[in-house]
Amino acid sequence: MEKIIYAIIANAGKTEQVNDYVTNIRGITGSNLYALHFNEISVAVSDFQSSKFIISKELAIDFARVIEELSQQLTVLPIRFGTVVKSDEIVKQLLTDNYNAFRENLLKVENKHEFGLKVIWDYDKCSEKIRSKVESEEINAGKYFSKSTINTNYLLEKLKKHRLEDAVLKHVELLIEEISRFLAQINPDCKFKKMLSQNIILDGVFLVEKNMKSEFIEAIEALKQQHDDLHFLLTGPWPPYSFVEIQIDK
Amino acid sequence: MQENVIDQSKDITILELLDRVLNKGVVITGDIVISVADIDLVYLGLKLILTSVETMQQRRLTTIKPNQPQK
Amino acid sequence: MSENKILLNSVPADEIKEAIENIENTVTSRINATPDNADHGLAQLVLTLIELIRKLVEKQAIRRVEGGSLTEDEIERLGETLMKLENKMEELKKIFNLTDEDLNLNLGPLGDLM
């Protein structure tokens, strides 16, 4: 029977307790969730007949529900949805082969929540200042192109476009620095993606100590006060999906 | 109007959730994994190609110096 | 899963739609990969990749123009090639009926190349 893998768990030697907790959580497709162990780490697994099920939104959401329930009481490393292997033996092999990496990562996320922050603006309105600045920086065409042809005009347009993009990017980088300042006391691990689109200028994830949750939210609210022109979407707490740094290719 | 906001909140929550569970977490690929979504194989192949393209481009760039005599 | 995870949301209604669509693009490619739309999905994937490379090439080309180390001829050829590349891309998009949004697939770590 094929197995689907949900999460790596820190068991602190208490495998019986982990078993009890895990088996009380319903797996996806009505399956029974159970745990396998190796030293100080365990893994949550359930039966899964891959030929029988279509990958659907509902299945993925249910999978996330299992991870959420596990993370209520345990330190977990979520496994990406859809990871199905042939047997328990293979699962155990994964545990032993990657033991150290899993342990280290578990330590890193212990007692922490993940939060996500998306910063959105109206590009046309907010980039006004940046755009006029770039346009006023007369790009002296003569500096780059000795004559005006279809090709050089094309390049000139691209040059302007890239200058603008660079300027916007710098603006976002300043915002990232500001966020880091606001969060200096909390000092969470963070990762940022810039310019998801013209309007979604920042997508950040933060790994925050559980007991600093309110401070973190307050800090983001304070940041928001400083920027009337920007919109903030803060979500969480999530299990540490974005702070899992393990890729296994076997 | 109020309902719309609640729906949107649900949508956002579900999407953020899906983004995490589908695109993040421990990634295990290779022969041991039974591909439930074949798209993973394509992405893995892409990753290899693009990494080599970027490496090639970087190599090309580092051999060109700004004050080389013009042809 | 009923728990609401939204802690703060100051995004106005008209702008939130786009944010929602943006995340949707990153997840639907993984969920909707069925044999029926596999062809469309494949074209989308391939063109997203080509577009990424084209953008990278364009960026590097502009940097070289700014660097001032190119001859007049090289600049002409560069401009002509880039223009042809972009036009070709537009053609391909039309043939496969793909919009710019379609080509914004989440390429994970690859997307960070930009």
Which chain B residues touch A248 with a CB distance below 8 Å? 26-30
Lookup: tokens for A244: 């899992």
Instruction: Give the gap in angstroms from C-alpha A58 to the nearest C-alpha of chain B.
Output: 10
Lookup: tokens for C61: 């080309």
CATH number of A113-242, picked from 3.30.70.260, 3.30.450.40, 3.40.50.720, 3.40.50.620? 3.30.70.260
Residue B49 has pLDDT above 70, yes or no: no
Residue A190 has pLDDT above 60, yes or no: yes
Inter-residue contact C41 to C30 (CB < 8 Å)? no
User: What pLDDT sits at residue C108?
Assistant: 58
Look at chain C and report how many structural domains it folds into: 1
Instruction: Note the pTM of the prediction, 2 decimals.
Output: 0.84
* Predicted ipTM of the assembly: 0.89
Which chain B residues touch C106 with a CB distance below 8 Å? 23
Residue A67 has pLDDT above 90, yes or no: yes
Question: Cβ C66–A68 below 8 Å, yes or no?
Answer: no
- A86 Cβ contact list (under 8 Å, min separation 6): A2, A3, B32, B34
Note the pLDDT tens digit of each residue in C28-71: 766 665 555 566 667 887 888 888 889 888 998 998 988 888 88
Question: Cβ B38–C16 below 8 Å, yes or no?
Answer: no
> Rounded mean pLDDT of C4-32?
82
Label residue C105 by pLDDT band (50, 70, 90): low
Q: Which domain holds residue C95?
A: 3-110
Inter-residue contact A200 to A230 (CB < 8 Å)? no
Kindly list the domain boundaries of chain A, sorted by start residue: 3-110, 113-242
Average pLDDT, chain C: 81
3-state DSSP of A26-45: ECHHHCECEEEEECCEEEEE
Label residue B68 by pLDDT band (50, 70, 90): very low
Question: Cβ A150–C78 below 8 Å, yes or no?
Answer: no
User: What pLDDT sits at residue A72?
Assistant: 96
Inter-residue contact A233 to A98 (CB < 8 Å)? no
Lowest average pLDDT, out of A14-18, A180-184, A220-224, C40-44, goes to C40-44
